[in-house]
Amino acid sequence: MSNANLFCALRAAFPANLDAPAILPADGPDTTHFYSWRDLDQASARIANLLDSLDLPPASRIAVQVEKSVEALMLYLAVLRAGHVFLPLNTAYQDGEISYFVGNAEPAVVVCSGKNFTWVSRIAFLAGTTHVYTLNDDRTGTLLDRASFHADTHEPAQVAATDLAAILYTSGTTGRSKGAMLSHGNLLSNALTLRSYWRWQPDDVLIHALPIFHVHGLFVASHGALLNGSPMIWFSKFDPAAVLARLPEATIFMGVPTLYVRLLGEAGLTPQACSHMRLFISGSAPLLMDTFTEWQRRTGHTILERYGMSETVMLTSNPCLPADGERRGGTVGFPLPGVGVRVHDDQGQPVPTGEIGGIQVRGPNVFGGYWRMPEKTREEFTADGWFKTGDVGRVDVDGYVTIVGRSKDLIISGGYNVYPAEIESVLNDLDGVAESAVIGVPHADFGEAVVAVLVARSGAELDSARLISHLKGKIANFKVPKRVFVVTDLPRNTMGKVQKNLLREQHKALFNPA
Protein backbone atom coordinates (compact mmCIF):
# COMPACT_ATOMS: atom_id res chain seq x y z
CA MET A 1 0.00 0.00 0.00
CA SER A 2 1.49 3.33 -1.03
CA ASN A 3 1.79 6.08 1.55
CA ALA A 4 0.13 9.38 0.57
CA ASN A 5 1.82 11.27 3.40
CA LEU A 6 2.90 14.65 2.02
CA PHE A 7 6.15 14.34 3.95
CA CYS A 8 7.11 11.27 1.90
CA ALA A 9 6.85 13.26 -1.34
CA LEU A 10 8.86 16.15 0.10
CA ARG A 11 11.51 13.83 1.54
CA ALA A 12 11.83 11.93 -1.76
CA ALA A 13 12.75 15.22 -3.45
CA PHE A 14 15.73 15.90 -1.17
CA PRO A 15 18.97 15.84 -3.17
CA ALA A 16 21.25 12.82 -3.07
CA ASN A 17 23.84 14.82 -1.15
CA LEU A 18 22.04 15.31 2.15
CA ASP A 19 24.93 17.39 3.48
CA ALA A 20 24.35 20.12 0.89
CA PRO A 21 22.80 23.40 2.09
CA ALA A 22 19.01 23.34 2.39
CA ILE A 23 18.36 26.54 4.35
CA LEU A 24 20.72 29.48 4.71
CA PRO A 25 19.68 31.79 7.58
CA ALA A 26 19.92 35.42 6.47
CA ASP A 27 19.25 36.88 9.91
CA GLY A 28 18.73 35.66 13.46
CA PRO A 29 21.12 34.15 15.98
CA ASP A 30 23.63 32.64 13.55
CA THR A 31 24.04 33.41 9.86
CA THR A 32 27.45 31.74 9.55
CA HIS A 33 26.07 28.21 9.39
CA PHE A 34 23.49 26.57 7.18
CA TYR A 35 20.98 23.78 7.73
CA SER A 36 21.62 20.76 5.54
CA TRP A 37 19.00 18.45 4.09
CA ARG A 38 20.21 15.89 6.62
CA ASP A 39 19.47 18.38 9.40
CA LEU A 40 15.89 18.78 8.16
CA ASP A 41 15.46 15.01 7.98
CA GLN A 42 16.95 14.19 11.36
CA ALA A 43 15.48 17.08 13.34
CA SER A 44 11.96 16.47 12.00
CA ALA A 45 12.43 12.78 12.86
CA ARG A 46 13.28 13.62 16.47
CA ILE A 47 10.22 15.84 16.85
CA ALA A 48 8.02 13.23 15.14
CA ASN A 49 9.31 10.61 17.56
CA LEU A 50 8.52 12.93 20.47
CA LEU A 51 4.95 13.25 19.19
CA ASP A 52 4.74 9.47 18.80
CA SER A 53 5.86 9.03 22.42
CA LEU A 54 2.83 11.01 23.61
CA ASP A 55 0.45 8.27 22.38
CA LEU A 56 -1.84 10.79 20.74
CA PRO A 57 -4.90 9.68 18.78
CA PRO A 58 -4.27 9.57 15.01
CA ALA A 59 -4.76 12.93 13.25
CA SER A 60 -4.53 14.94 16.47
CA ARG A 61 -4.37 18.68 16.02
CA ILE A 62 -1.04 20.32 16.82
CA ALA A 63 -1.57 24.06 17.31
CA VAL A 64 1.48 26.25 16.74
CA GLN A 65 1.92 29.96 17.47
CA VAL A 66 5.62 30.74 17.27
CA GLU A 67 7.92 33.23 15.59
CA LYS A 68 9.31 32.23 12.21
CA SER A 69 12.36 30.00 12.42
CA VAL A 70 13.84 27.02 10.62
CA GLU A 71 12.93 24.92 13.66
CA ALA A 72 9.30 25.96 13.21
CA LEU A 73 9.44 24.60 9.66
CA MET A 74 10.97 21.40 11.02
CA LEU A 75 8.04 21.15 13.45
CA TYR A 76 5.62 21.38 10.52
CA LEU A 77 7.45 18.57 8.71
CA ALA A 78 7.41 16.50 11.90
CA VAL A 79 3.66 16.90 12.32
CA LEU A 80 3.11 15.68 8.76
CA ARG A 81 5.57 12.87 9.32
CA ALA A 82 3.78 11.69 12.48
CA GLY A 83 0.40 11.73 10.74
CA HIS A 84 -1.11 14.58 12.73
CA VAL A 85 -2.78 17.84 11.68
CA PHE A 86 -0.81 21.08 11.64
CA LEU A 87 -2.66 24.13 12.93
CA PRO A 88 -0.60 27.31 12.34
CA LEU A 89 -1.73 30.44 14.19
CA ASN A 90 -0.89 34.03 13.34
CA THR A 91 1.68 35.43 15.76
CA ALA A 92 -0.45 38.56 16.16
CA TYR A 93 -3.38 36.66 17.72
CA GLN A 94 -4.11 37.58 21.33
CA ASP A 95 -5.85 35.99 24.30
CA GLY A 96 -9.44 36.05 23.03
CA GLU A 97 -8.50 34.75 19.57
CA ILE A 98 -6.29 31.95 20.87
CA SER A 99 -9.06 30.92 23.29
CA TYR A 100 -11.43 30.54 20.34
CA PHE A 101 -9.00 28.55 18.18
CA VAL A 102 -7.97 26.21 21.00
CA GLY A 103 -11.58 25.72 22.07
CA ASN A 104 -12.72 25.07 18.52
CA ALA A 105 -9.88 22.81 17.33
CA GLU A 106 -9.23 21.02 20.65
CA PRO A 107 -5.54 20.44 19.92
CA ALA A 108 -3.74 17.64 21.71
CA VAL A 109 -0.52 19.67 21.66
CA VAL A 110 0.09 23.41 21.71
CA VAL A 111 3.48 24.91 20.87
CA CYS A 112 4.04 28.59 21.65
CA SER A 113 6.85 31.11 22.09
CA GLY A 114 8.47 31.02 25.50
CA LYS A 115 7.49 34.65 26.17
CA ASN A 116 3.81 33.69 25.78
CA PHE A 117 3.89 30.42 27.72
CA THR A 118 2.15 31.71 30.83
CA TRP A 119 -1.03 32.92 29.16
CA VAL A 120 -1.13 30.43 26.27
CA SER A 121 -0.64 27.42 28.56
CA ARG A 122 -3.42 28.69 30.84
CA ILE A 123 -5.82 28.78 27.88
CA ALA A 124 -4.65 25.39 26.62
CA PHE A 125 -4.86 23.55 29.93
CA LEU A 126 -8.31 24.99 30.71
CA ALA A 127 -9.46 23.73 27.29
CA GLY A 128 -8.18 20.23 28.03
CA THR A 129 -4.92 20.27 26.05
CA THR A 130 -2.49 17.89 27.76
CA HIS A 131 0.84 18.99 26.29
CA VAL A 132 2.20 22.52 25.89
CA TYR A 133 5.74 23.14 24.66
CA THR A 134 7.77 26.24 23.86
CA LEU A 135 9.77 26.99 20.73
CA ASN A 136 11.76 30.19 20.30
CA ASP A 137 13.43 31.71 17.27
CA ASP A 138 16.91 31.27 18.80
CA ARG A 139 16.89 27.45 18.74
CA THR A 140 15.71 27.14 22.34
CA GLY A 141 12.56 25.84 23.98
CA THR A 142 11.16 22.78 25.68
CA LEU A 143 10.09 21.22 22.38
CA LEU A 144 13.68 20.95 21.17
CA ASP A 145 14.90 19.94 24.63
CA ARG A 146 12.48 17.01 24.78
CA ALA A 147 13.01 16.06 21.13
CA SER A 148 16.77 15.84 21.64
CA PHE A 149 16.29 12.60 23.62
CA HIS A 150 14.64 10.85 20.68
CA ALA A 151 16.06 9.00 17.68
CA ASP A 152 16.91 10.87 14.47
CA THR A 153 15.21 8.33 12.20
CA HIS A 154 11.47 7.91 11.83
CA GLU A 155 9.12 5.94 9.61
CA PRO A 156 6.41 8.32 8.32
CA ALA A 157 2.87 7.51 9.42
CA GLN A 158 0.71 5.78 6.84
CA VAL A 159 -2.00 8.16 5.60
CA ALA A 160 -4.46 8.37 2.73
CA ALA A 161 -4.55 11.29 0.31
CA THR A 162 -7.87 12.38 1.81
CA ASP A 163 -6.53 12.46 5.39
CA LEU A 164 -6.17 15.87 6.99
CA ALA A 165 -2.73 17.51 6.88
CA ALA A 166 -3.55 21.02 8.08
CA ILE A 167 -6.31 23.29 9.30
CA LEU A 168 -5.96 26.94 8.38
CA TYR A 169 -8.25 29.42 10.07
CA THR A 170 -9.50 32.19 7.86
CA SER A 171 -8.66 35.73 8.87
CA GLY A 172 -12.06 36.29 10.41
CA THR A 173 -12.52 39.86 9.23
CA THR A 174 -16.26 39.21 9.28
CA GLY A 175 -17.60 36.93 12.00
CA ARG A 176 -15.78 34.03 13.61
CA SER A 177 -12.86 32.44 11.81
CA LYS A 178 -13.51 29.17 10.02
CA GLY A 179 -11.02 26.30 9.94
CA ALA A 180 -10.32 25.23 6.36
CA MET A 181 -9.45 21.52 6.30
CA LEU A 182 -6.69 20.69 3.81
CA SER A 183 -5.69 17.12 3.06
CA HIS A 184 -2.33 15.63 2.11
CA GLY A 185 -3.72 15.22 -1.39
CA ASN A 186 -4.87 18.84 -1.61
CA LEU A 187 -1.43 20.14 -0.72
CA LEU A 188 0.61 17.70 -2.78
CA SER A 189 -1.46 18.13 -5.93
CA ASN A 190 -1.07 21.90 -5.78
CA ALA A 191 2.65 21.74 -5.06
CA LEU A 192 3.24 19.42 -8.02
CA THR A 193 1.17 21.64 -10.31
CA LEU A 194 3.09 24.77 -9.30
CA ARG A 195 6.45 23.03 -9.69
CA SER A 196 5.54 22.34 -13.30
CA TYR A 197 3.68 25.57 -14.10
CA TRP A 198 6.35 27.86 -12.65
CA ARG A 199 9.09 25.76 -14.27
CA TRP A 200 11.17 25.18 -11.15
CA GLN A 201 14.75 24.53 -12.27
CA PRO A 202 17.49 22.31 -10.73
CA ASP A 203 19.59 25.37 -9.84
CA ASP A 204 16.77 27.48 -8.39
CA VAL A 205 17.30 29.22 -5.04
CA LEU A 206 14.35 30.76 -3.20
CA ILE A 207 14.45 33.84 -1.01
CA HIS A 208 11.95 33.04 1.74
CA ALA A 209 10.87 36.25 3.46
CA LEU A 210 7.22 35.42 4.22
CA PRO A 211 5.59 34.29 7.48
CA ILE A 212 4.92 30.56 7.76
CA PHE A 213 1.51 30.62 9.42
CA HIS A 214 -0.17 31.25 6.07
CA VAL A 215 -0.72 29.50 2.72
CA HIS A 216 1.75 31.72 0.86
CA GLY A 217 4.81 31.17 3.03
CA LEU A 218 4.14 27.73 4.48
CA PHE A 219 2.72 25.92 1.46
CA VAL A 220 3.44 27.80 -1.78
CA ALA A 221 6.97 28.94 -0.94
CA SER A 222 8.23 26.17 1.37
CA HIS A 223 6.65 23.28 -0.54
CA GLY A 224 7.96 24.71 -3.79
CA ALA A 225 11.56 24.71 -2.64
CA LEU A 226 11.39 21.42 -0.74
CA LEU A 227 9.66 19.55 -3.58
CA ASN A 228 12.32 20.79 -5.99
CA GLY A 229 15.25 20.11 -3.65
CA SER A 230 16.12 23.81 -3.85
CA PRO A 231 17.93 25.78 -1.14
CA MET A 232 16.18 28.64 0.64
CA ILE A 233 17.74 31.90 1.80
CA TRP A 234 15.71 32.29 4.98
CA PHE A 235 14.66 35.62 6.45
CA SER A 236 12.85 35.51 9.77
CA LYS A 237 11.68 39.06 9.11
CA PHE A 238 11.50 41.02 5.87
CA ASP A 239 14.20 43.67 5.47
CA PRO A 240 14.22 45.26 1.99
CA ALA A 241 17.89 46.25 2.03
CA ALA A 242 18.94 42.81 3.27
CA VAL A 243 16.77 41.02 0.69
CA LEU A 244 18.16 43.22 -2.07
CA ALA A 245 21.70 42.27 -1.03
CA ARG A 246 20.91 38.55 -1.43
CA LEU A 247 19.20 38.73 -4.85
CA PRO A 248 22.45 37.90 -6.70
CA GLU A 249 22.47 34.53 -4.90
CA ALA A 250 18.83 33.66 -5.66
CA THR A 251 16.56 32.97 -8.62
CA ILE A 252 13.02 33.16 -7.12
CA PHE A 253 11.37 35.63 -4.78
CA MET A 254 7.80 35.40 -3.48
CA GLY A 255 6.18 38.33 -1.74
CA VAL A 256 2.99 40.19 -0.97
CA PRO A 257 2.55 43.56 -2.74
CA THR A 258 3.75 45.49 0.31
CA LEU A 259 7.15 43.81 0.05
CA TYR A 260 7.50 44.90 -3.57
CA VAL A 261 6.59 48.47 -2.65
CA ARG A 262 9.26 48.49 0.05
CA LEU A 263 11.85 47.03 -2.32
CA LEU A 264 11.02 49.78 -4.82
CA GLY A 265 12.00 52.22 -2.09
CA GLU A 266 15.59 50.94 -2.26
CA ALA A 267 17.89 52.94 -4.54
CA GLY A 268 19.91 49.80 -5.25
CA LEU A 269 17.03 48.04 -6.98
CA THR A 270 18.34 47.93 -10.55
CA PRO A 271 18.38 45.51 -13.49
CA GLN A 272 21.90 44.55 -12.49
CA ALA A 273 20.83 43.71 -8.93
CA CYS A 274 18.13 41.43 -10.37
CA SER A 275 20.18 39.96 -13.22
CA HIS A 276 20.45 36.52 -11.60
CA MET A 277 16.74 36.35 -10.75
CA ARG A 278 14.39 34.16 -12.77
CA LEU A 279 11.00 34.80 -11.21
CA PHE A 280 9.25 37.35 -8.99
CA ILE A 281 5.85 36.15 -7.73
CA SER A 282 3.21 38.22 -5.95
CA GLY A 283 0.03 37.23 -4.17
CA SER A 284 -2.14 37.34 -1.02
CA ALA A 285 -3.40 40.85 -1.88
CA PRO A 286 -4.05 42.84 -5.08
CA LEU A 287 -0.98 44.25 -6.82
CA LEU A 288 -1.41 47.87 -7.85
CA MET A 289 -0.72 48.64 -11.51
CA ASP A 290 1.71 51.36 -10.41
CA THR A 291 3.76 48.73 -8.58
CA PHE A 292 3.53 46.34 -11.52
CA THR A 293 4.75 48.88 -14.09
CA GLU A 294 7.33 50.53 -11.84
CA TRP A 295 8.86 47.10 -11.12
CA GLN A 296 9.17 46.46 -14.85
CA ARG A 297 10.84 49.84 -15.35
CA ARG A 298 13.25 49.52 -12.44
CA THR A 299 14.27 45.88 -12.80
CA GLY A 300 13.47 44.69 -16.31
CA HIS A 301 11.38 41.88 -14.75
CA THR A 302 7.62 41.43 -14.89
CA ILE A 303 6.00 40.28 -11.65
CA LEU A 304 3.92 37.10 -11.94
CA GLU A 305 0.68 37.59 -10.02
CA ARG A 306 -1.39 34.60 -8.94
CA TYR A 307 -4.56 33.93 -6.96
CA GLY A 308 -5.37 31.51 -4.19
CA MET A 309 -7.14 31.09 -0.87
CA SER A 310 -6.71 29.34 2.47
CA GLU A 311 -9.41 26.92 1.31
CA THR A 312 -7.85 26.09 -2.03
CA VAL A 313 -4.13 26.94 -2.05
CA MET A 314 -3.38 28.27 -5.56
CA LEU A 315 -6.08 28.52 -8.22
CA THR A 316 -4.76 30.68 -11.06
CA SER A 317 -1.48 32.15 -12.23
CA ASN A 318 -0.16 34.43 -14.89
CA PRO A 319 2.06 32.53 -17.35
CA CYS A 320 5.63 31.69 -16.49
CA LEU A 321 6.91 31.38 -20.06
CA PRO A 322 6.34 34.00 -22.80
CA ALA A 323 5.19 31.22 -25.09
CA ASP A 324 2.21 30.67 -22.79
CA GLY A 325 1.11 34.31 -22.90
CA GLU A 326 1.91 37.65 -21.31
CA ARG A 327 1.94 38.41 -17.60
CA ARG A 328 -0.93 40.85 -17.68
CA GLY A 329 -1.04 43.47 -14.95
CA GLY A 330 -4.31 43.71 -13.06
CA THR A 331 -5.17 40.06 -13.71
CA VAL A 332 -4.33 36.80 -11.95
CA GLY A 333 -3.78 34.89 -15.17
CA PHE A 334 -5.29 31.55 -16.15
CA PRO A 335 -6.76 28.67 -14.12
CA LEU A 336 -3.99 26.26 -13.19
CA PRO A 337 -4.00 22.84 -14.88
CA GLY A 338 -6.67 20.67 -13.30
CA VAL A 339 -8.46 23.64 -11.71
CA GLY A 340 -11.90 24.70 -12.90
CA VAL A 341 -12.98 28.35 -12.64
CA ARG A 342 -16.44 29.65 -13.54
CA VAL A 343 -18.39 32.86 -12.90
CA HIS A 344 -22.05 32.78 -11.84
CA ASP A 345 -24.62 35.36 -10.81
CA ASP A 346 -26.49 35.52 -7.49
CA GLN A 347 -29.11 33.13 -8.84
CA GLY A 348 -26.48 30.53 -9.65
CA GLN A 349 -26.60 31.06 -13.40
CA PRO A 350 -23.45 31.48 -15.55
CA VAL A 351 -22.73 35.04 -16.66
CA PRO A 352 -21.58 35.92 -20.18
CA THR A 353 -17.86 35.98 -20.88
CA GLY A 354 -16.26 39.18 -19.62
CA GLU A 355 -19.08 40.04 -17.23
CA ILE A 356 -18.72 40.24 -13.46
CA GLY A 357 -20.06 37.61 -11.08
CA GLY A 358 -19.17 35.30 -8.21
CA ILE A 359 -16.11 33.10 -8.78
CA GLN A 360 -16.58 29.37 -8.22
CA VAL A 361 -13.82 26.76 -8.38
CA ARG A 362 -13.18 23.05 -8.22
CA GLY A 363 -10.13 20.81 -8.41
CA PRO A 364 -7.93 18.41 -6.43
CA ASN A 365 -6.57 21.37 -4.43
CA VAL A 366 -9.96 22.46 -3.08
CA PHE A 367 -10.45 21.76 0.64
CA GLY A 368 -12.91 19.26 2.08
CA GLY A 369 -14.83 21.74 4.19
CA TYR A 370 -14.76 23.80 7.37
CA TRP A 371 -13.77 22.19 10.65
CA ARG A 372 -16.88 21.27 12.64
CA MET A 373 -19.08 23.49 10.47
CA PRO A 374 -21.05 21.08 8.26
CA GLU A 375 -23.85 23.58 7.58
CA LYS A 376 -21.41 26.32 6.59
CA THR A 377 -19.59 23.83 4.36
CA ARG A 378 -22.85 22.94 2.59
CA GLU A 379 -23.63 26.63 2.11
CA GLU A 380 -20.28 27.30 0.45
CA PHE A 381 -20.51 24.48 -2.12
CA THR A 382 -22.93 24.32 -5.03
CA ALA A 383 -25.12 21.30 -5.65
CA ASP A 384 -22.72 20.16 -8.39
CA GLY A 385 -19.64 20.44 -6.14
CA TRP A 386 -18.10 23.84 -6.93
CA PHE A 387 -16.72 25.98 -4.09
CA LYS A 388 -18.11 29.50 -3.91
CA THR A 389 -14.99 31.55 -3.19
CA GLY A 390 -16.77 34.74 -2.13
CA ASP A 391 -14.63 36.63 -4.63
CA VAL A 392 -16.16 38.66 -7.42
CA GLY A 393 -14.50 38.79 -10.83
CA ARG A 394 -14.64 37.97 -14.50
CA VAL A 395 -13.04 35.72 -17.09
CA ASP A 396 -12.20 37.56 -20.30
CA VAL A 397 -12.61 36.10 -23.77
CA ASP A 398 -8.91 35.16 -23.89
CA GLY A 399 -9.16 33.31 -20.56
CA TYR A 400 -7.48 35.79 -18.20
CA VAL A 401 -9.11 35.98 -14.78
CA THR A 402 -9.54 39.34 -13.05
CA ILE A 403 -10.56 39.65 -9.39
CA VAL A 404 -12.80 42.66 -8.79
CA GLY A 405 -13.20 42.22 -5.04
CA ARG A 406 -14.90 40.27 -2.30
CA SER A 407 -18.65 39.77 -2.44
CA LYS A 408 -18.89 41.08 1.11
CA ASP A 409 -17.26 44.31 -0.13
CA LEU A 410 -19.95 44.83 -2.75
CA ILE A 411 -21.74 48.16 -2.22
CA ILE A 412 -25.42 48.45 -3.13
CA SER A 413 -26.17 52.16 -3.38
CA GLY A 414 -29.61 53.29 -4.48
CA GLY A 415 -30.25 49.82 -5.89
CA TYR A 416 -27.09 49.83 -8.03
CA ASN A 417 -24.19 47.39 -7.56
CA VAL A 418 -20.90 49.19 -6.99
CA TYR A 419 -17.64 47.22 -7.14
CA PRO A 420 -14.97 48.97 -5.04
CA ALA A 421 -12.06 47.73 -7.17
CA GLU A 422 -13.41 49.59 -10.20
CA ILE A 423 -13.44 52.92 -8.36
CA GLU A 424 -10.10 52.20 -6.69
CA SER A 425 -8.56 51.65 -10.13
CA VAL A 426 -9.70 55.11 -11.25
CA LEU A 427 -8.57 56.76 -8.01
CA ASN A 428 -5.15 55.12 -8.10
CA ASP A 429 -4.53 56.59 -11.54
CA LEU A 430 -5.05 60.16 -10.31
CA ASP A 431 -2.06 62.41 -9.72
CA GLY A 432 -0.97 62.42 -6.11
CA VAL A 433 -2.86 59.26 -5.09
CA ALA A 434 -0.64 56.45 -3.83
CA GLU A 435 -3.39 54.03 -2.83
CA SER A 436 -7.10 53.90 -2.13
CA ALA A 437 -9.76 51.83 -0.40
CA VAL A 438 -13.43 52.20 -1.26
CA ILE A 439 -16.10 51.09 1.19
CA GLY A 440 -19.86 51.28 1.67
CA VAL A 441 -21.37 52.76 4.84
CA PRO A 442 -25.02 53.01 5.95
CA HIS A 443 -27.05 55.82 4.38
CA ALA A 444 -30.72 56.63 5.07
CA ASP A 445 -31.61 57.42 1.45
CA PHE A 446 -29.32 55.16 -0.57
CA GLY A 447 -29.01 52.17 1.76
CA GLU A 448 -25.25 52.43 1.42
CA ALA A 449 -23.09 55.36 0.41
CA VAL A 450 -19.74 55.08 -1.35
CA VAL A 451 -16.80 56.41 0.68
CA ALA A 452 -13.14 56.55 -0.40
CA VAL A 453 -10.12 56.52 1.87
CA LEU A 454 -6.89 57.62 0.18
CA VAL A 455 -3.19 57.69 0.88
CA ALA A 456 -1.33 60.56 -0.79
CA ARG A 457 1.99 60.21 -2.54
CA SER A 458 4.95 61.76 -0.77
CA GLY A 459 4.83 65.53 -1.10
CA ALA A 460 1.36 65.58 -2.69
CA GLU A 461 -1.65 67.39 -1.31
CA LEU A 462 -5.08 65.99 -2.10
CA ASP A 463 -8.24 68.08 -2.12
CA SER A 464 -11.31 65.93 -1.44
CA ALA A 465 -13.82 68.21 -3.19
CA ARG A 466 -11.63 68.48 -6.28
CA LEU A 467 -11.19 64.70 -6.42
CA ILE A 468 -14.93 64.11 -6.22
CA SER A 469 -15.52 66.67 -8.98
CA HIS A 470 -12.91 64.99 -11.16
CA LEU A 471 -14.46 61.54 -10.65
CA LYS A 472 -17.85 62.78 -11.85
CA GLY A 473 -16.35 63.07 -15.31
CA LYS A 474 -14.85 59.59 -15.17
CA ILE A 475 -17.47 57.22 -13.74
CA ALA A 476 -21.24 56.98 -13.31
CA ASN A 477 -22.60 59.31 -10.68
CA PHE A 478 -23.87 56.49 -8.44
CA LYS A 479 -20.27 55.21 -8.17
CA VAL A 480 -18.79 58.58 -7.17
CA PRO A 481 -17.83 58.64 -3.47
CA LYS A 482 -20.03 60.84 -1.30
CA ARG A 483 -17.03 61.56 0.90
CA VAL A 484 -13.25 61.23 0.48
CA PHE A 485 -10.81 60.98 3.37
CA VAL A 486 -7.02 61.27 3.18
CA VAL A 487 -5.03 59.22 5.69
CA THR A 488 -1.38 58.39 6.30
CA ASP A 489 -1.79 54.61 6.01
CA LEU A 490 -4.51 52.06 5.32
CA PRO A 491 -5.04 49.38 7.99
CA ARG A 492 -3.66 46.00 6.91
CA ASN A 493 -3.43 42.49 8.23
CA THR A 494 -0.14 40.61 8.41
CA MET A 495 -0.39 39.48 4.78
CA GLY A 496 -0.80 43.04 3.52
CA LYS A 497 -4.53 42.94 2.80
CA VAL A 498 -6.40 46.15 3.51
CA GLN A 499 -8.82 45.59 6.39
CA LYS A 500 -11.91 47.26 5.02
CA ASN A 501 -13.97 46.00 7.94
CA LEU A 502 -12.01 48.40 10.18
CA LEU A 503 -12.65 51.29 7.78
CA ARG A 504 -16.35 50.45 7.65
CA GLU A 505 -16.51 50.38 11.44
CA GLN A 506 -14.66 53.70 11.67
CA HIS A 507 -17.05 55.47 9.28
CA LYS A 508 -20.31 53.61 9.97
CA ALA A 509 -21.98 56.64 11.60
CA LEU A 510 -20.85 59.12 8.93
CA PHE A 511 -24.32 59.64 7.44
CA ASN A 512 -26.41 58.13 10.23
CA PRO A 513 -25.05 59.52 13.49
CA ALA A 514 -26.35 57.85 16.62
In the chain, domain spans: 6-183, 328-403, 410-507
Identify the three-state secondary structure at position 138: coil
Of 227, 178, 235, 247, the residue nearest 210 (C-alpha): 235
| pLDDT at residue 171 in the model | 61
**Ramachandran area for residue 55 (φ above 0: left; ψ -120 to 50: alpha; else beta):** left
| pLDDT at residue 29 in the model | 80
Query: What percent of the chain clears pLDDT 90, i.e. is strictly above it?
Result: 82
Q: What is the mean pLDDT of residues 321-336?
A: 96
This prediction has a pTM of 0.87
pLDDT in tens, 348-374: 999 999 999 999 999 999 999 999 999
Task: Please provide the average confidence, as pLDDT, over all residues in the chain.
Answer: 94
Least reliable range by pLDDT among 111-115, 150-154, 231-235, 429-433: 429-433
Q: Hey, what CATH topology would domain 328-403 get?
A: Luciferase; domain 3 (2.30.38)
Of 337, 339, 316, 345, the residue nearest 328 (C-alpha): 316
92 or 142, which is more confident: 142
Identify the three-state secondary structure at position 120: helix
Residue 284 has pLDDT above 90, yes or no: no
433-443: strand order across its sheet: 433-443, 447-456, 483-487
Least reliable range by pLDDT among 23-27, 46-50, 457-461: 457-461
| pLDDT at residue 175 in the model | 54
Q: What is the mean pLDDT of residues 91-120?
A: 94
| pLDDT at residue 173 in the model | 41
CA distance 46 to 68: 19
Q: What is the mean pLDDT of residues 182-211?
A: 98
Q: What is the mean pLDDT of residues 381-402?
A: 96
Residue 421 has pLDDT above 90, yes or no: no
| pLDDT at residue 172 in the model | 47
Domains 6-183 and 328-403 share a fold: no
Chain-centroid distance, C-alpha 96: 23
Q: What is the mean pLDDT of residues 45-49?
A: 98
Residue 478 has pLDDT above 90, yes or no: no
Architecture of domain 410-507: 2-Layer Sandwich (3.30)
Identify the three-state secondary structure at position 130: coil
Q: How confident is the model at residue 184 (pLDDT cuts 50, 70, 90)?
A: very high
Residue 58 has pLDDT above 90, yes or no: yes
Burial class (CB in 10 A: 0-12, 13-18, 19+), 481: buried
The gap between the terminal CA atoms of the chain, to the nearest Å, is 66
Query: What percent of the chain clears pLDDT 70, i.e. is strictly above it?
Result: 99
| pLDDT at residue 514 in the model | 60
pLDDT in tens, 164-179: 999 999 864 445 789 9
Residue 394: CB atoms within 10 A of its CB come to: 19
Q: Which amino acid is residue 505, in one-letter code?
A: E
DSSP 23: E
**Domain 6-183 classified CATH 3.40.50.12780?**
yes
